[in-house]
């Protein structure tokens, strides 16, 4: 079984318009718990985000205050990973989750903002 963590370095080699990076182990841990089809769909979506200049909101949508969600749908299941930009890098944050309501939960947005603040404080 190929874990998401083993594929992370692939993203850095393939990017043309932006790079998708993880922050700490949050996203890796979330994806490693998902079925292979979900992991594969997220990996495909990350590659799409890197490779095309204008990413459709079906895959990457601005939520508020510089927070984005990477969007994946498989059947009737909807998954999200919150993210933000650091220059040309899309940084994936802690809160991957299966979406159960139409609106993104405010608690997930607040988590993403807190993680972004931690990230910015740790930058050199």
Which helix (H) or strand (E) segment holds residue 118: the answer is: helix 106-122
pLDDT of 103 higher than 90 = no
pLDDT at 44: 95
pLDDT of 1 higher than 70 = no
pLDDT at 19: 86
- Where residue 94 falls among pLDDT bands split at 50, 70, 90? low
Q: Which residue range forms the structural domain that includes residue 83?
A: 4-122
How far apart, in whole angstroms, are the C-alpha atoms of residue 101 and residue 113?
20
Taking the complete model, does pTM exceed 0.85, yes or no?
no
User: In this structure, are residues 70 and 81 in contact, taking their beta carbons and an 8 Å threshold?
Assistant: yes
Total structural domains in the chain? 1
pLDDT of 87 higher than 90 = no
Domain CATH number, residue 9 = 3.30.2310.20
């Amino acid at each position: 079984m190929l874990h998401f963590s083993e594929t992370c370095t692939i993203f850095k080699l393939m990017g043309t318009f932006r790079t998708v990076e993880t922050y700490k182990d949050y996203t890796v841990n979330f994806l490693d718990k998902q079925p292979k089809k979900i992991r594969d769909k997220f990996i495909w979506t990350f590659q799409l985000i890197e490779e095309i200049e204008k990413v459709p909101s079906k895959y990457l949508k601005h939520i508020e205050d510089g927070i984005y969600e990477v969007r994946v749908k498989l059947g009737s299941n909807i998954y999200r990973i919150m993210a933000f930009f650091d220059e040309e890098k899309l940084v994936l944050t802690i809160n991957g989750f299966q979406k159960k309501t139409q609106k993104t939960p405010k608690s997930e947005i607040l988590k993403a903002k807190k993680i972004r603040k931690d990230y910015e404080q740790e930058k050199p």
